[in-house]
Amino acid sequence: MFCKVIKKSIKFIISFVVIFSFALASTKKVFTINEESIEILAPSAILMEPKTGKVIYEKNSHEVRCCASITKVMTMILVMEAIDSGKISFNDVVSASEHAASMGGSDIWLKPGETMSVDELIKATMVASANDAAVALAEHVCGSEEIFVSEMNKKAKELSMNETVFKNCNGLDEEGHVTSAYDVALMSRELIKHKKIFEYTSIWMDYLRDGKTQLVNTNKLLKSYKGITGLKTGTTSKAGSCITATATRGNLSLNAVVLGGANGKERFKDAATLLDFGFANYSMLKPIIDENIFEPVKVVDGMKPSVNIEAKVDNEVLIQKGKERSIDNSLEVVSEVKAPVKIGQRLGRLIYKLNDEVIAEYDVVAVEEVENINFLSAFISLLNKFFQI
């Protein structure tokens, strides 16, 4: 009898240990996100922190592919730049051309000669992905879509989008109209410098034509993902289902790009998976400077024997969570500088490293001016010292 009790007790303990171990393993699986555990179904994807341009995750990110209406990200860059320069304004009234009204796919059914404001056309382009609205904006900025597309390609080169060629301004399938996930991240990074764009990309539902035309955002993450701010979706037969998704939580902003998804549900899942990985594993950190490391730099032939220096850390760096205490810094400063010395003159650099990788670099500059020594200034300085005695 006693043996049976012992055996039952042992079985109970073993069962408890197995169940507890399984539960613990399951808990770890749910709450621990690492790069190896990420499953991205789309053939091409990337996760980037836009302030620093740091790539956190990538899958065939340089593979040349179609991107459908994500093309409109570049269209909006040029439109916002034209507004910032004063070339056009949000209140400008645009008359739709026959060419703009002839676009197929997603549109707001513009009729030739119909008028809308630039503000309304941007809303239609970014919320409903209207191809006709995008062309109307392009023509308003440059006079024709052809000239506008030329400017799009120039801007792509400026942004080092080496895998991109634009053939139109709206993303309709056209031979040779290609980009890559990495290039999409680069142009998304550029567009969101214009904070005004978030006023459009965050709209879920709106109306045009005095409420007669309803606009519903094609980015379904607006309804399901915490912190989502935009940015653009795209779908064609050649491109598949694509998205460039931006989100912010606290002081960390991320951009996930997915190209070639099998369907809309898959692209949203992939984008959310990438964003979850970024927010779970990374944070933004502003390096703390120890002012005691800055010793004055010797000045040769100057009115002062040395000049005080400083490094202004005005931006944050992306850091993997848990690695904050592993950051090292080093100071590289010239041993001496020849007068004259100007305020803000670069005299060295302050470098922050994590595991021997440079994660931030700041200029070390002079905080005061030091004039070149000459007879008159030296004589005046001598007189001042004499009268102080």
pLDDT in tens, 336-367: 999 999 999 999 999 999 888 888 899 999 99
Rounded distance between C-alpha atoms, residue 16 and residue 144, angstroms: 73
pLDDT (0 to 100) of residue 11? 43
pLDDT tens track for 186-238: 999 999 999 999 999 999 999 999 999 999 999 999 999 999 999 999 999 99
Q: What domains are defined for the chain?
A: 36-281 (3.40.710.10), 291-388 (2.60.410.10)
Cα within 13 Å of Cα(140), Cβ side: 31
pLDDT (0 to 100) of residue 213? 97
Query: Active-site residue 241, yes or no?
Result: no
Alpha helices in the chain (DSSP H): 2-31, 72-85, 98-101, 118-127, 131-142, 145-158, 181-191, 198-201, 264-281, 375-388
Q: pTM for the full model?
A: 0.83
pLDDT (0 to 100) of residue 315? 83
Largest distance between two CA atoms of the chain: 112
Nearest-Å Rg of the Cα atoms of the chain is: 29
Query: Active-site residue 237, yes or no?
Result: no
Which residues of the chain are under the pLDDT cut of 70?
1-36, 375-389
Indicate the burial class of 258 (C-beta count within 10 angstroms; 0-12, 13-18, 19 or more): buried
366 forms beta bridges with 309
pLDDT (0 to 100) of residue 35? 66
Query: Active-site residue 69, yes or no?
Result: yes
pLDDT (0 to 100) of residue 17? 35
Catalytic residue, from 44, 61, 69, 188: name it: 69
Catalytic residue, from 72, 123, 155, 269: name it: 72
pLDDT (0 to 100) of residue 34? 59
pLDDT (0 to 100) of residue 156? 98
Catalytic residue, from 44, 61, 106, 129: name it: 129
